[in-house]
Structure 1
Amino acid sequence: MDVKRDIRFRVYLSFTGIVLLAVAIIVKAMMIQVSEGKTLRAQAEKAHTKKETLLPERGNIYSEDGTLLSSTIPQFDLRVDFKAINKDTFKFYLDTLSQCMAKLFGENSADNYKRQLKGAFQNQERYWLIKKNAPYYQYQAVRNFPLFSKGKNKGGFIAEPRSKRVNPYGMLAYRTIGLWRENADNIGLEKRYDSVLCGKEGTRIIRKVTGGTWMPIEGSEVDPVNGRDIVTTIDINIQDAAEHALLDVLTKNNCQYGTAIVMEVKTGKIRALANLGRQADGSYWEDFNYAMIPTEPGSTFKLMSLYSLLEDGYVTINDNVNAQGGVAVFGNQRVVDDHHGLGVISIKKAFALSSNVAFAKLVNQYYHNDPMKYIGHLQHLQLNKRTGIDLAGERGPTIKTTKSRSWNKVTSLPWIGYGYESLITPLHTCMVYNAVANNGKMMKPYLVSAIQEYGLPVQEFKPTVLVESIGKPSTIRQMQQAMRAVVEEGTAKGIKSPYYTAAGKTGTAQVADKGITYTDGVRQGSFVGYFPYENPQYTITVVVRSTPHGAYYGAVVGAPVFKTIADKLYASHIGGWKAQADSLAKQMKLVAKKSTGDHLNTAMAALGFAAPAVTGWNGIVNLQPDSSGRYSLRKTATVKEIVPDVSGMGLRDALFLLESSGLQVSTSGNGKVVSQSLPAGNRIVKGQKIHIQLG
């Protein structure tokens, strides 16, 4: 009996425990459902769903003629989840897949790819890298490969898209255009117009389904808004000419850095903005926007002083000034001319020869008792404020006033008068000179002409007038004449052209910034001018910083850059050549080297001339002068058994002629043919080799 009672007690106790546990579970379930259910359901939903950001396409940057200057290209990290691939399916496609990868990428053999794929499959790798930063065409090819075409769930193919911002023209206008990078301190138009270019992010909700795959929930997408495009005022051909001209002078004279600005006179559009700085290895790169950095301008500032004197009616350019042999003393400081021995000369000549003494004296003489009258003219020329160009990073200028702590009653006025104790950017200088070229109307420099969306303009930027007229017509006219004298008979007469007229001003300044003192021998040479003089189209500003004791005169480092750019602009944009081949050759003093007839036809057509009567003639032709100086075309017969004379020809034509004669050609050097190993006129032996030297 006791045993039965004990067993019964244990049964009742167990049953009671089970009932209590069941009641507790029910109570807990009810509590979870009622009080904690909302929180737990949210946590479960969060573990299985998430919000994904959809990135917009960044807008492009174009030149006005539609040339692409900056764009975003898609790239992909291509990977494989081998756990998603059936074993038999993998074996079936392995050989074909290996061959496809070897053919597309060319980085490994098919056998090597096969070994890699087998090893990754055996290890059941879920994130095996096929190719990093693959371009779009490779992504398209790989997604259609055998096995991978089955998609992510059966073929294991994973493509992770990303974007890469590229400048198709590389360094060309790099500091102006900029190059966008995520989470970076960007530059140029990419930074200034980031809010326009970047667009607006979109979102979508994705849910984890069976197998751990994330799938978008239909209807949850908020589409991204792609960025808009901007159209710049940059002309890529003018930019190219400016950078090459600047680079040539910097390299030749081993300078520190330089900038060249090309502004359209009537509108203020910046057609080119080149900035090149010397790197540690001696090369040059667009490393800084020197056009927006204030420096002491030197003698180009004399135009501002001349403007003040003329506008107040104190002088005319035909009045005389005593240059005192090239030396003047103010307090305990001396002003010295580069041209010694100048005495009493006209103000026009003093400007043309860039007399420091003359302009220091004139400004001091007429404004000594009222310096702020002179400073007021500089402020009227907008030299005390930023130009407002649509680029980030422009630094403010410094124009002293009598209230400035560094103002010296004896020396400040004459020193400012010939280009010191003021800090302005090359853009400021360009803007003022452009106003003179534009008969007094000062235009705001700008770089963006339109914002577009899907090829249609949504905002257009028109030329902006800063000052309707900076001075009286007589003032502007005399300033133009003085600038013309600089090129005709002054410091820049070396850039005179027989084809167009120009006006401008050279400038040279000692430099004392960034730890450099005036005694370190570092100077800044510049030239600012416009052309053609009678109907100005472009204003060009060039500023070059020398190395210690290197070449620095504006006529040496600045004016040649101006002339090279102006020559190319005149030939391509202004000249309007209509002469026939003979008169063109005579006027330009050009002689066409030997070439094949078809190539000459192509060249003549590109220049806009009537094609000579040599169509279909693949022999050699020459442009040869006659006694009257006119040029005529002459065919030169070729005999395949005889070695032709290819001296003076380009490589393409020389190769065509020699190889068509049955010779095996090797070359060295660059340029035109200067010598050939087989003398012209020798009989050709079949299979004979010939070497041509280019130079």
Structure 2
Amino acid sequence: MEVKKDILWRVYLCFIGMVLFGLVILAKVFILQNVDGNYWRSMADSLHTSYVSLDAERGTIYSEEGRMLSTSIPYFDVRIDFAADGLRDKNGQIFKENLDSLSDALSTLFGDRTAGEYKQLLREGYKSKDRYFLLKRNVPFNQFQQIRNFPMFRLGANKGGMIAETRNKRINPFKLLANRTIGLSRENAQNVGLERTYDSYLKGVTGKRLMRRIAGGTYVPVEGYDIEPENGRDVHTTIDVNMQDIVETALMNMMVENEAEHGACVLMEVKTGKIKAIANLGRQPDGSYWENMNYALQVGEPGSTFKLATVIAVLEDKYTTMNGMVDLNYGRWQVGRRTVYDSEPHHRTNVTIKQAFELSSNVGMAKLAYQYYSKQPNSFVAHLKRLQLDKRTSIDIEGEGQPVIKTTASKTWSATTLPWMAFGYEVLISPLQTCMLYNAVANNGKMMKPYLVNNIMEYGEVVKQFEPVTVMDSICSQSTLRQVKRMLEGVVLEGTAKKLYTPYYSFAGKTGTALVANGKRGYADKIYQSSFAGYFPANDPQYTCVVVIKNKPHAPRFYGASVAGPVFREVADKLYAIAIEKQQPLKTRVKIDSLLGLKNGKGTELKQILTTLKLPWEGDVTSTNWVSATVNEQQKVELDPVKQVKGAVPDVTGMGLKDALYLLENAGLRVEIRGAGKVTSQSIPGGTRIARDQKIVIELS
């Protein structure tokens, strides 16, 4: 009996242990499913899903008059989900019914395969149940619009299986014009130009897309988990396309004619410092020219255009006047073991400082600097620093070189440094710095900072405005300014640039011809840099222009007046001709025609258009609303909000095609377009609730 009890006790104990163990398992299962379930499910998903970046649409760079200088164009990679429920349903009925017609349409559109080849390709994809089958890469927008309406694809993502991935390609519509200044936006390399400087504004905010891994290591998008990117802002530059074309063409003609190595031309608006045009051309291995580097920002020995700084220093210290005398010593003067030569031989001796400047005498400038500053050379250097020649201009573009203005503390300072600095050697400055100095003289002594961007805009609204910046109210006294202006005008009337003279308008400037070294070969190759810096018209300066061209070795023509000067003259001639052809605007108020072709659209965009055209308007405009536009009895364009209800068909009557497509497609509708112009009717009235995969037809006229 005792044995039986002992056995039963052990059986009961085992049973109770098993029950308790089962209860623990059940409790653990309950906790895993209901308490910790979300955590473990997310852990499982993380092993099969991941987020990929969605690039925002990059902002557009515009010229001052509103033309696109750099913009993004969408391209599409078209793929097919052959495991989509609609395609596999009823033993692939939809796929089989549309295979022939889809193959014909693809062959007709792309022309790269026959209909039979496309048919075989699609069959292979369907057979493999590939969920991410690549059909075509880099499909442009117009072709993509057609593909969406092809057989099978027009049934929607679930039934038709089409997957579209958008990629943006950056283009410069004007190609060569200001190409290096506008810059390049590159995926696998550093941006340059304005694309680089204003990248933080242009690139927008990157979005995210959840992707799930499927068989074969392929990832497909998970619907409903996208974080939409925020589009970049637009940059409106100071560049004028017409002026840029004039500058680029003038420089190109001379570069080709003289087979020059590289050159730059900068056009600046006198009163503001706006860069209206900037051309940079370099010779390519095949002999052609391209904007391969921003030469206007590169530093080098400026040559005789630097003499302006020398005479400003001498006159400002009142050591002499422009009528003071200097001995040119027949164009040859020895300083220590070195000899200063004038670029053109002559038999002049005693001339006025004004005449020495007009003749571009190296000897004259070297003697002035040596005579007045040899005992205190840093006093001369101080003048150069006051003229901002030792600092970058801080223009709003990357890549500006660091100027070099020597002092007595410099390791390379010697007994001949001072006289050589006086005529533009042993100093390094950029063409843009030269332009800023000459522009200050043209602007009655006020030095302006050069800049390239007017404002940053987002959806038609200015988010950041750039105004002209005064670097210095006056670079010198009015007495000095009057004298240097007369000297610059004298260069054109009686000096080295007299061949450039025109009786139709006046201009002032200075030629420059500098011998430059060619690496280890030194000066043996006789490579000359030709330059011209000046402003026009001289009596009321509007623009400052600097031209710098580096010639080929042993070029037969290399003087500044015969190489760089003609480029300046061509630019000035054309801009002056444009100026005198302009008619005065009408002072009377223009009556708005009640039959004016107005379109409905986004409020901020219509507001910007009306403001630009200086047309009176009124109405309630916000950053997000859409409006209808009509002319009221008060001769104003009235903007009335158009109500758009979420989940309902948008009312696009009266809108242009771009706005209509934006609203309808974002609402989930498939759009068929008939006609051209603005929308006159839509097959589904505005406000109607949207059904799944619904199609709408819009008529335009």
TM-score tier by shorter-chain length is 0.7 to 0.9
Matched with 1:436 is 441
Instruction: State the AA in 2 paired with 1:425.
Output: S
Residues 415, 163 of structure 1: CA spacing in aligned structure 2 closer, same or farther, 3 A cutoff? same
Distance 1:573 1:152 in 2: 58
Instruction: State the AA in 2 paired with 1:321.
Output: V
Distance 1:532 1:345 in 2: 28
Is residue 2:357 matched to residue 1:378?
A: no
Kindly state the Cα deviation for residue 226 of structure 1 after the two structures are TM-superposed.
2.2
Kindly state the Cα deviation for residue 103 of structure 1 after the two structures are TM-superposed.
2.9
Matched with 1:485 is 490
SS at match of 1:250: helix
Kindly state the Cα deviation for residue 57 of structure 1 after the two structures are TM-superposed.
2.1
Larger mean Cα displacement after TM superposition, 514-523 or 183-192: 514-523
Is residue 2:427 matched to residue 1:422?
A: yes
Matched with 1:672 is none
SS at match of 2:354: helix
Cα deviation per residue 1:632-663 (whole Å; 9 max; x = unaligned)? xxxxxxxxxxxxxxxxxxxxxxxxxxxxxxxx
Matched with 1:459 is 464
Matched with 2:81 is 81
Kindly state the Cα deviation for residue 27 of structure 1 after the two structures are TM-superposed.
4.3
Instruction: State the AA in 2 paired with 1:248.
Output: N
Residues 213, 364 of structure 1: CA spacing in aligned structure 2 closer, same or farther, 3 A cutoff? closer
Is residue 2:210 matched to residue 1:215?
A: no
Distance 1:348 1:129 in 2: 75
Q: 2:375 aligns with which of 357, 365, 369?
A: 369
SS at match of 1:560: helix
Kindly state the Cα deviation for residue 81 of structure 1 after the two structures are TM-superposed.
2.9
Distance 1:124 1:383 in 2: 69
Larger mean Cα displacement after TM superposition, 194-203 or 498-507: 194-203
Instruction: State the AA in 2 paired with 1:68.
Output: M
Matched with 1:150 is 155
Kindly state the Cα deviation for residue 452 of structure 1 after the two structures are TM-superposed.
0.9
Q: 2:394 aligns with which of 357, 366, 388?
A: 388
Kindly state the Cα deviation for residue 101 of structure 1 after the two structures are TM-superposed.
1.6
Q: Is the 8 A contact 2:268 2:544 kept in 1?
A: yes
Distance 1:137 1:61 in 2: 23
Residues 395, 516 of structure 1: CA spacing in aligned structure 2 closer, same or farther, 3 A cutoff? farther
| Residues 547-586 of structure 1 mapped to structure 2, 5 A cutoff | 547-550=552-555, 551-574=557-580, 576=582
Matched with 1:104 is 109
Matched with 1:311 is 316
Larger mean Cα displacement after TM superposition, 195-204 or 308-317: 195-204
Matched with 2:189 is 184
Distance 1:555 1:29 in 2: 97
SS at match of 1:491: coil
Instruction: State the AA in 2 paired with 1:46.
Output: S
Matched with 1:601 is none
Q: Is the 8 A contact 2:183 2:191 kept in 1?
A: yes
Kindly state the Cα deviation for residue 29 of structure 1 after the two structures are TM-superposed.
6.0
Instruction: State the AA in 2 paired with 1:161.
Output: T
Is residue 2:453 matched to residue 1:445?
A: no
Distance 2:533 2:80 in 1: 61
Distance 1:438 1:516 in 2: 42
Q: Is the 8 A contact 2:332 2:342 kept in 1?
A: yes
Cα deviation per residue 1:658-679 (whole Å; 9 max; x = unaligned)? xxxxxxxxxxxxxxxxxxxxxx
Is residue 2:352 matched to residue 1:346?
A: yes
Matched with 1:235 is 240
Q: Is the 8 A contact 1:546 1:552 kept in 2?
A: yes
Distance 2:498 2:14 in 1: 113
Distance 1:348 1:166 in 2: 50
Larger mean Cα displacement after TM superposition, 194-203 or 535-544: 194-203
Kindly state the Cα deviation for residue 520 of structure 1 after the two structures are TM-superposed.
2.9
Q: Is the 8 A contact 1:173 1:286 kept in 2?
A: yes
Matched with 1:360 is 366
Kindly state the Cα deviation for residue 432 of structure 1 after the two structures are TM-superposed.
0.3
Matched with 1:133 is 138
Matched with 2:57 is 57
Kindly state the Cα deviation for residue 431 of structure 1 after the two structures are TM-superposed.
0.4
Distance 1:318 1:461 in 2: 43
SS at match of 1:557: helix
Instruction: State the AA in 2 paired with 1:394.
Output: E
Q: Is the 8 A contact 2:518 2:527 kept in 1?
A: no
Kindly state the Cα deviation for residue 289 of structure 1 after the two structures are TM-superposed.
0.6
Distance 1:136 1:22 in 2: 68
Residues 82, 221 of structure 1: CA spacing in aligned structure 2 closer, same or farther, 3 A cutoff? closer
Cα deviation per residue 1:580-626 (whole Å; 9 max; x = unaligned)? xxxxxxxxxxxxxxxxxxxxxxxxxxxxxxxxxxxxxxxxxxxxxxx
Residues 310, 323 of structure 1: CA spacing in aligned structure 2 closer, same or farther, 3 A cutoff? same
Kindly state the Cα deviation for residue 200 of structure 1 after the two structures are TM-superposed.
1.8
Residues 400, 354 of structure 1: CA spacing in aligned structure 2 closer, same or farther, 3 A cutoff? same
Larger mean Cα displacement after TM superposition, 323-332 or 94-103: 94-103
Distance 2:526 2:291 in 1: 25
Q: Is the 8 A contact 2:211 2:220 kept in 1?
A: no
Kindly state the Cα deviation for residue 462 of structure 1 after the two structures are TM-superposed.
1.0
Residues 515, 177 of structure 1: CA spacing in aligned structure 2 closer, same or farther, 3 A cutoff? farther
Q: Is the 8 A contact 1:207 1:216 kept in 2?
A: no
Q: Is the 8 A contact 2:209 2:221 kept in 1?
A: no
Cα deviation per residue 1:352-386 (whole Å; 9 max; x = unaligned)? 11111111011100111111111111011000111
TM-score (norm 2): 0.75
Matched with 2:659 is none
Instruction: State the AA in 2 paired with 1:186.
Output: N
Q: Is the 8 A contact 1:504 1:528 kept in 2?
A: yes
Q: Is the 8 A contact 2:547 2:568 kept in 1?
A: yes
Q: Is the 8 A contact 2:131 2:220 kept in 1?
A: no
Instruction: State the AA in 2 paired with 1:520.
Output: D
Residues 34, 508 of structure 1: CA spacing in aligned structure 2 closer, same or farther, 3 A cutoff? same
Distance 2:498 2:115 in 1: 69
Kindly state the Cα deviation for residue 185 of structure 1 after the two structures are TM-superposed.
0.6
Q: 2:522 aligns with which of 514, 517, 538?
A: 517
Instruction: State the AA in 1 paired with 2:222.
Output: M
Larger mean Cα displacement after TM superposition, 569-578 or 127-136: 569-578
Residues 181, 112 of structure 1: CA spacing in aligned structure 2 closer, same or farther, 3 A cutoff? same
Distance 1:553 1:24 in 2: 102
Is residue 2:96 matched to residue 1:91?
A: yes
Kindly state the Cα deviation for residue 30 of structure 1 after the two structures are TM-superposed.
4.5
Distance 1:65 1:201 in 2: 30
Distance 1:83 1:381 in 2: 72
Kindly state the Cα deviation for residue 399 of structure 1 after the two structures are TM-superposed.
0.5
Matched with 1:661 is none
Q: Is the 8 A contact 1:544 1:552 kept in 2?
A: no
Instruction: State the AA in 2 paired with 1:430.
Output: C
Q: 5+ unaligned residues in a row in structure 2: which ranges?
A: 1-6, 585-701
